[in-house]
């Protein structure tokens, strides 16, 4: 009937998810909900990297931005404005949706890991190659990665400061000194 490749279907699916959650990240009133929407946007960006064959970049996207930057922002929000984060008790529909999502994630993960989708070999890197990778991160030469290493630390620091500034509530907002 239709001869649409799976890659095209997944691209449009991830693009739609990314657009919807990008809109939610900037329009939602609660900062924590905005951070969760941003997490899904960053995760779909990692899916785009995987579709392009850049699995390493997808891993960096998940580890650095979702695992590092976003967690720092959420931590800063929770530390600085905890009284605004109180939520009402979840409804039955919300509990059911959470259980459904958890079971679907478990089934999908189990299926992927048991059906050998990843061509993982038991080959390990020799010790000298591991050392070369570590040395390249601290190398100043043309092939060195010191700039990338330092940029990651600056991004994490900026995320922490930004999260604190966003989440901070000024008590003297109406008073003048």
User: 47: which 2 tokens?
Assistant: 């899916």
Window from 22-26, 57-61, 79-83, 154-158 with minimum mean pLDDT: 79-83
Give the pLDDT confidence score for residue 167 in this predicted structure.
66
pTM: 0.56
Of the segments 1-5, 16-20, 76-80, which one has the largest average pLDDT value?
16-20
Give the pLDDT confidence score for residue 121 in this predicted structure.
62
User: 125: which 2 tokens?
Assistant: 């890197």
Helix/strand number for the chain, H first, E second: 7, 0
Give the pLDDT confidence score for residue 10 in this predicted structure.
86
Question: 43-48 long-range contacts, Cβ below 8 Å, gap at least 24?
Answer: 44/14, 44/15, 44/17, 44/18, 45/18, 47/10, 47/14, 48/11, 48/14
Q: Is residue 134's pLDDT more than 50?
A: yes
At a CB cut-off of 8 Å and minimum separation 6, what does 11 contact? Answer: 48, 51
pLDDT tens, residue by residue, 41-57? 989 998 998 888 888 88
Nearest to 69, CA basis, from 51, 52, 45: 45
Mean pLDDT of the chain: 77
Q: Assess contact for 16 and 62: CB atoms under 8 A.
A: no
Give the pLDDT confidence score for residue 103 in this predicted structure.
92
Q: Quickly list H helices, 61-175.
A: 70-80, 92-114, 127-137, 146-167
């Amino acid at each position: 009937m239709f001869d649409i490749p799976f890659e095209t279907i997944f691209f449009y699916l991830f693009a739609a998810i990314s657009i919807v959650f990008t809109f939610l990240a900037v329009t939602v009133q609660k900062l924590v909900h905005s951070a969760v929407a941003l997490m899904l946007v960053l995760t779909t960006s990692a899916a785009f990297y995987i579709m392009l064959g850049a699995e390493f970049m997808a891993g960096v996207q998940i580890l650095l931005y979702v695992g590092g930057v976003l967690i720092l922002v959420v931590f800063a929000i929770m530390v600085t404005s905890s009284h605004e984060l109180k939520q009402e008790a979840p409804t039955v529909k919300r509990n059911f949706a959470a259980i459904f999502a958890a079971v679907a994630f478990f089934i999908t993960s189990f299926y992927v890991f048991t059906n050998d989708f990843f061509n993982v070999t038991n080959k390990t890197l020799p010790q000298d190659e591991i050392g070369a990778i570590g040395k390249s991160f601290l190398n100043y030469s043309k092939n060195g990665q010191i700039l990338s290493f330092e940029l990651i630390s600056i991004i994490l620091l900026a995320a922490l400061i930004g999260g604190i500034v966003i989440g901070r509530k000024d008590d003297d907002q109406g008073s003048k000194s």
